[in-house]
Structure 1
Amino acid sequence: MQQQSEAQALDGVRSRLAEQFPEAGEDAVASAVTAAHAKMTGPIRDYVPVLVEHTARDRLARELGHHPRPTPPGAALTHR
């Protein structure tokens, strides 16, 4: 995955997680995504946005004590 498209995919991750965790606030969502992304250092980048989204979503759910709101139909992973 090219660096630019990875960055665009991470923008989508932040957007989806902000919708799923509106009470967390944009800063908390951005922090969770940044922390998750920092752990993804391997050379194969194709699945990084998906892994970041799962890791950040789990962190936010733990911190807020509940599961995320369901993602609206049609808002599924569109990082490609």
Structure 2
Amino acid sequence: MRNDEATQIRFVRDRLTERYPQVSPGIIAEIIGRAQAALSDARVRTFVPLLVERRARIELSLAVSGEILVV
């Protein structure tokens, strides 16, 4: 992972932590980690942070609404 990608992922983590204060930062980090793992083979890395954030927001929104259980 390139350094600027890592920086962008930290910004994603910070935004999601602020947007979902009812979810522990550890759970948010796990969700982001799963999203990153799903995109680990992406050859074009430019949009990986954006895609990670979108995927994580979907999962967090479903978890907060009670539609899924985040473990």
TM-score > 0.5, shorter chain as reference? yes
Q: C-alpha displacement at 1:63, in angstroms?
A: 1.1
Pairs aligned (count)? 65
Q: Which residue of 2 aligns with 1:48?
A: 48
- Equivalent AA in structure 1 for residue 42 of structure 2: G
> RMSD of the TM alignment (CA)?
1.3
Unpaired runs of at least 5, structure 2: 67-71
State TM-score, norm by structure 2: 0.86
Q: C-alpha displacement at 1:25, in angstroms?
A: 1.1
Higher RCO (C-alpha 8 Å, min separation 6): 1
Distance 2:3 2:48 in 1: 13
- Equivalent AA in structure 1 for residue 48 of structure 2: V
Establish whether residue 16 from structure 1 lines up as the match of residue 3 from structure 2: no
Establish whether residue 63 from structure 1 lines up as the match of residue 42 from structure 2: no
Unpaired runs of at least 5, structure 1: 67-80
